[in-house]
Homo-oligomer: A and B are copies of this chain.
C-alpha cells in the first residue's frame, strides 16, 4: 500500500455515476458541478481522480461501451448453430433493454454523443473516438453477416456491409424513439419488422 490519505469514495462507482449523468444530460449539457453534486465529492477530488471534463467523459464513454455495449455483442455469435435472424433479434432485444431500462437514463449515450459530435459542442478528440467506435461496431456486425453468407444461409447478392449499416440504422433510430416514450413492446415490434427485411435463405 502506498502512502497518503485514502480515497473516501469508490472510484468505479463514481465513474458509473458520472457516466449516468453524461448519459442523461449529454456532454455540453453536463457541468462539472452537476458531476460533483451527483457524486457527492469535491472538485479537486474529481479532477485528481479523473482529470478534466474531456478526459472524464472519454473514460465514462469507454466504460459505457465496454460494460453496457460489448456484452450484448456476444449474442451475435452464440449459439453458433442458431439462425442469423435469431441471433440478431437477441442482440437487438439486448440493446432495447439497455436503452429502455428503469435503472438508467432512457436512450443511448453513444448515439446521443454522436449527435453532439462534429461541432464546437464537443471536443474533436471525442468525435474521433466516437467515429472509431462506430466503425468497430459496424465491422463486427459485418463480419457476423459475412460468415453467415459463407455458410450459405444468406442471399449471395446481399452485401454484408449494407446489411450491417441497415441494422445499425434501425438500432440508432430506436434510441431516438425510446426518448419519446415508446414502450418495450413497440420497440420489439419495430425490431421484428426490421429483421423481416433480411434476405435469409
Interface residues in chain A, defined as those with a beta carbon under 8 Å from any beta carbon in chain B = 24-26, 28-30, 34, 105-107, 111-112, 114-122, 130-131, 134, 159, 162-163, 165-166, 168-174, 176-177, 179-182, 186, 189-190, 193-194, 196-197, 199
Contacts and interface: CB of A to CB of B under 8 A. Distances in A.
21 contacts: A25-B119, A25-B120, A25-B121, A26-B116, A26-B121, A28-B28, A29-B116, A29-B120, A114-B176, A118-B179, A162-B186, A162-B190, A166-B190, A166-B193, A166-B194, A172-B172, A172-B173, A172-B177, A173-B176, A193-B197, A196-B197
Give the oligomeric copy count.
2
B26 A115 contact: yes
A140 B139 CA distance: 36
A97 B189 CA distance: 28
A180 B130 CA distance: 9
Chain B CB within 10 A, most for which of A119, A173, A190, A197: A173
